[in-house]
A and B are shown apart, each in its own frame.
Chain A
């Protein structure tokens, strides 16, 4: 399990795919930590430098879809511009997300190449609040 100021995530067992279980005291923390979980699937987050900054604005009809859209956004930037992020700051206002991410261009010479993520799925998707805070689960197609 990896712990970060905003929350913690762990990879979960899934026969054909890979998933992350994220816990955080706030919903913002869920989104920030899920972002880190995504990056950690792809490479080692601690090897990433914050050289490039990107802004995000997203809006969806429900929280689960917003989480999937957020991760899809990160996957899109990785696939098209090779960007991978090691730090996130997320603000939520109801179902509208505003975020900043810091990272760099993935370089196989420098960064550990772990897994290529093909898609973020809605399979067994969950964002729930319990007495210890927020919890979310996302399965990736890899």
Chain B
């Protein structure tokens, strides 16, 4: 998300902003907003319609879906293929951040690499930005658990041998394969709606703190992109157009300029890509390239990745006041969990700039701007 605000206008309000975000956006174990209660029937609508449902309920603007992968709704979702158990886990969690590496971060543009692309994305030096990282919550995990059980049987049925029990598969065109994809689309649509709702609460929070409408604050969605998802797409293989199932795990979509699925506003520069780093260093905004289309089925990496296990991070951070350390660097952090901040210390992650150098060096995405964090809420 971008704002029309500059860093200097936000700096003095960052504590209040982070506190208010923390209050408005439920995070951590068992958190929920009392004003968002869904019936099972309503939840099924979310699974079919994704962001469309959220916008109709008043979460966000009519224009928002334009700037979301698949316009915030993957077609073909079938809620009847999603178990009651998944629905029960999903019902109280819509509009919640979760914990672990999920976050909302307020930052600013501290370096511009590509003026033309930055302008197309509405980004400029010192501008305040917001990143939201969350997904399909317990519902998505339950869909995964349910279908692992089904697909494990299919793996045997179709005589496929795999090296780990966590792995299982079925042919895409089989009954099990089709059902899984229709259930996964429902989980993806839940994730789109979840981010849209949180996005709306971010807008409300800024309005409250700055006593100004979100329109005047210039709070606009730049782009919402998935990671960890399988999608049916058309790609050129050996000179021929082919329909493929592209599974992006630890990866995100990076479509080039003029691709039909790249939003009109970004036609000349390519689809925006977000690569978040750790909470102490930076995150990057990039755009997709033709080379990604040719070499990686229009994909790039989705984050820095950990170098330390959570246990190691806890050892390294023992006795340290991490929140204070970050505060000294000008970053205000608020976390629901007692141990989250220590498990998520910046050095537990790879330096995202090195990761970004690799993907931009390989030509599978192009750097547009670098963001530095000012305030972070975590679960």
Q: Which residues of A contact B (CB under 8 A)?
A: 11-16, 18, 42-43, 64, 72, 76, 78-80, 82, 106, 108, 112-116, 118-125, 141-142
B149 vs chain A, min Cβ distance (A)? 8
| 23 cross-chain CB contacts under 8 A | A14-B309, A16-B305, A76-B88, A76-B142, A78-B29, A78-B30, A79-B92, A79-B93, A80-B89, A82-B30, A106-B30, A113-B29, A113-B99, A113-B338, A115-B343, A116-B379, A118-B100, A118-B138, A119-B145, A122-B148, A122-B165, A123-B164, A142-B310
Which of A13, A78, A114, A116 makes the CB contact (< 8 A) with B312?
A: A13
Interface size on B, residues (CB 8 A): 37
Known contacts A15-B309, A72-B145, A119-B144: A80-B92 contact under CB 8 Å: yes
Q: Return the chain A residue nearest B164 by Cβ.
A: A123
Q: Which residue of A15, A64, A82, A125 has the most chain B CB atoms within 10 A of its CB atom? A: A15
The list of the 9 closest CB pairs from A to B, nearest first, reads A116-B99, A123-B166, A122-B165, A119-B141, A13-B309, A79-B138, A79-B89, A122-B166, A82-B30
- B-side contacts of A122, CB under 8 Å: 148, 164-166
Q: Return the chain A residue nearest B93 by Cβ.
A: A79
Q: Return the chain B residue nearest A73 by Cβ.
A: B85
- A-side contacts of B308, CB under 8 Å: 15
Which of B29, B165, B311 makes the CB contact (< 8 A) with A13?
A: B311
- The answer for the CA separation of A38 and B326 in the assembled complex, in Å, is 30
Taking the complex as formed, is B363 at the interface, i.e. its CB lies under 8 A from any CB of chain A? Answer: no
Are A142's CB and B100's CB within 8 A? yes
What 1/0 mask marks residues of chain B from 300 to 343 whose CB sits below 8 Å from any chain A CB? 00000111111110000000000000000000000011111001
Taking the complex as formed, is B360 at the interface, i.e. its CB lies under 8 A from any CB of chain A? Answer: no
- A-side contacts of B65, CB under 8 Å: none
Which of A18, A76, A125 makes the CB contact (< 8 A) with B89?
A: A76
- B-side contacts of A15, CB under 8 Å: 306-309
- B-side contacts of A82, CB under 8 Å: 30
- A-side contacts of B95, CB under 8 Å: none
- A-side contacts of B165, CB under 8 Å: 64, 122-123, 125
Q: Which residue of B29, B88, B141, B312 has the most chain A CB atoms within 10 A of its CB atom? A: B29
